[in-house]
Amino acid sequence: MGNLFKKAFTYKETQCTIISDKETAIKIAIESLKRNHKQLEKYLSTNPKFLYTLKPVPVPQKPLVAKLMAEAAEKASVGPMAAVAGVLADLAVNDMVRGGCEVAVVEDGGEVSAVSNLPIDVALAAGDEPLSKRFGFRLTDFPVGLATSSGRFSHALSFGDAEAATVFCKDAGLADAAATVVGNVVKGEDYKAAIEHGLHVAKSIVGVEGVLIIYKGLVGTWGKIPLIIKVDPSTS
C-alpha cells in the first residue's frame, strides 16, 4: 500500500487508524469521527437507556449515528452500543469518499470499514493468542466492513469465550453488532458444537456475508471470507 497516507487518531474512547490516498481525506475522517462522537454523546445524555441496554431499542431518526447503531443492533438482536465503533468508522469512510478519495479505510478499535480501488491487507488481532497478528485478510471486494469480538482479550463486553469471532458485511456497523452476538454464544466444553452454534447464529443475521471463529485452537468458517494471508507480526 505504497503512496498512501496513514494516521493514528485518538479521541476520548475512540482509537483509530485512518488510511487514504489523499491527505485531505484523513482530515475529513477526523472531523467526521469527532462530529459524530459529539452528536452521539449529546443523544446519550437524554437517552441513557441507549447506552446501557443489551437489547435492541426503537430506532431514532436523529442523529444519524444513533439511527445506524440502532438499525444494526435490531438486525443482530443486541444493544445499540455493540455497533458504535463500526458505525463511526462507516460514517467516516462515507465522508472520505464524498470528499473525492479512492482509498478510504478506517479502523476503529479493531472494527474496519473500507472502500478502495486497491487491495487492503488487515491483520487479525486476538490478544496474546498464538495466531494473533500472524494471519489476516486481503480485502478486494468493496465496500466491506469487518469486526472481531473476543471473550479472551477485548475490552468490549462479551459473554462468550472465543479467541476471535470475525464477521464480514458490507458495513462495519452491522459487522460490529453481529460479531458481538456471535462471540456471545461461543462457549462451553464441546468446542466443535460451540463453533457450529456461532456459525448458525451468524447465518441467521440478514446482511452477514461471512464469519470466521477461533475457539480453543479450532477454526470454523461460513460464507464469503476474504483471502486469508500470512502476516509478519513484527509489522502489524
Rounded to an integer, what distance in angstroms lies between the CA atom of residue 13 and that of residue 85? 10
Selection from 128, 126, 53 nearest residue 84 by Cα: 53
SS3 for the chain is CCCCEEEEEEECCEEEEEEECCHHHHHHHHHHHHHHHHHHHHHHHHCHHHHHCCCCCCCCCCCHHHHHHHHHHHHHCCCHHHHHHHHHHHHHHHHHHHCCCCEEEEEECCEEEEEECCCEEEECCCCCCCCCCCEEEEECCCCEEEEEECCCCCCCCCCCCCCEEEEEECCHHHHHHHHHHHHHHCCCCCHHHHHHHHHHHHHHCCCCCEEEEEECCEEEEEECCCEEEECCHHHC
Q: Which domain covers residue 174, as residue numbers? A: 5-235
> What CATH number does residue 102 fall under?
3.10.520.10
pLDDT in tens, the chain (236 residues): 558 999 999 988 888 999 999 999 999 999 999 999 999 999 999 999 999 999 999 999 999 999 999 999 999 999 999 999 999 999 999 999 999 999 999 999 889 999 999 999 998 865 555 555 568 999 999 999 999 988 555 445 455 678 899 999 999 999 999 999 999 999 999 999 999 999 999 999 999 999 999 998 899 999 999 999 987 655 55
Q: How many CA atoms lie within 13 A of 30 on its CB side?
A: 14
Total of domains in the chain: 1
pLDDT digits (tens, 9 = 90+) for 154-192: 445 455 678 899 999 999 999 999 999 999 999 999 999
